[in-house]
Structures are given as structure tokens and as C-alpha cells.
């Protein structure tokens, strides 16, 4: 499976999960540098979401972890990291994303980011407090 197909699968899984949770979801028509989706609880308030997908965990120091690299793009409000084999999601504020990281895929690992395993509540809480990206009517 090539990286474009893998990324598309991760994006669609995240999109489906957001819709199940009651979010409005918008996908740019063209590739936008910095984010893959817009998502929010209101029709005019969205967070920019960057999605990264890893297919399989690899062994590292006796543990199997999903490895995410090249996370330097910081234009989104949140990263959602998809561990495909586990169908697991990590919802991480962009300011807490390092350049590369390893995750267990089940929340049991030793990374400081394991606390973001399945943390959809972070997006919900942020959507009710404020919206970094607001869409305004063009009238």
C-alpha cells in the first residue's frame, strides 16, 4: 500500500469518527498545506486537523510501537495520529507534538503522548470554549 492510499484511509477513518461524535466536518477540495480536515461542533467554527497514519507497529527495544516522523508542520490546531492496525486514534494539540514519536496503539506505552489515546473530548471541549478558525459569511 502506498503512502497516499494509507493517508487517505486514515483521513476517512478520522472523518467517520468525527461525524459519529456529532462534529461538522469539512474537507478541502484541493490539498491544503498544513491540515487535512476542518472539524467543529458548530457550522461556522472549525479546528484545523492534521492527520497522520501509521500502518503497522514496529519493534523497538523489545516493544512494538507505531512510529510517526516528519511532524514538523505546525499550521493545524490539532494532530490526529491514526494507528491503523489497532484502529486507534490519538488527538494531540499541535503545540505538544514533537518532530517524531512512538505510540503503543492501545494507550499503554511509555510516551508522554499516550494520555491522548482516544482523547476526543479535547476537541469537544475546545469547540465549546473557542474556535481558532471561524468561517464568516461572504455578504
pTM of the model: 0.88
Does the pLDDT of residue 102 top 90, yes or no?
yes
Most confident of 17-21, 31-35, 44-48: 17-21
The CATH number of whichever domain residue 110 belongs to comes to 3.40.1350.10
pLDDT class for 131, splitting at 50, 70, 90? very low
Confirm whether 139 is domain-assigned.
Answer: no
Q: Which domain holds residue 94?
A: 3-134
Domain count, the chain: 1
Instruction: Mark residue 63 as left, alpha or beta (left: phi above 0; alpha: psi -120 to 50; beta: remaining).
Output: beta
pLDDT class for 23, splitting at 50, 70, 90? very high
Task: Tell me what pLDDT residue 83 has.
Answer: 97
The mean of the pLDDT values for the chain is 88
Amino acid at each position: 500500500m502506498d503512502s497516499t492510499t494509507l493517508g487517505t484511509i486514515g483521513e476517512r477513518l478520522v472523518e467517520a469518527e468525527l461525524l459519529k461524535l456529532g462534529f461538522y466536518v469539512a474537507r478541502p477540495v484541493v490539498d491544503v498545506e498544513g491540515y487535512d480536515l476542518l472539524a467543529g461542533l458548530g457550522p461556522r467554527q472549525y479546528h484545523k486537523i492534521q492527520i497522520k497514519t501509521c500502518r503497522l507497529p514496529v519493534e523497538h527495544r523489545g516493544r512494538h510501537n507505531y512510529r510517526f516522523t516528519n511532524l514538523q508542520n505546525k499550521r493545524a490546531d490539532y494532530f490526529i495520529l491514526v494507528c491503523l492496525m489497532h484502529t486507534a486514534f490519538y488527538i494531540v494539540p499541535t503545540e505538544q507534538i514533537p518532530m517524531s514519536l512512538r505510540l503503543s496503539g492501545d494507550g499503554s506505552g511509555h510516551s508522554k503522548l499516550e494520555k491522548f489515546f482516544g482523547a476526543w473530548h479535547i476537541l469537544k471541549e475546545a469547540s465549546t470554549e473557542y474556535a481558532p478558525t471561524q468561517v464568516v459569511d461572504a455578504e
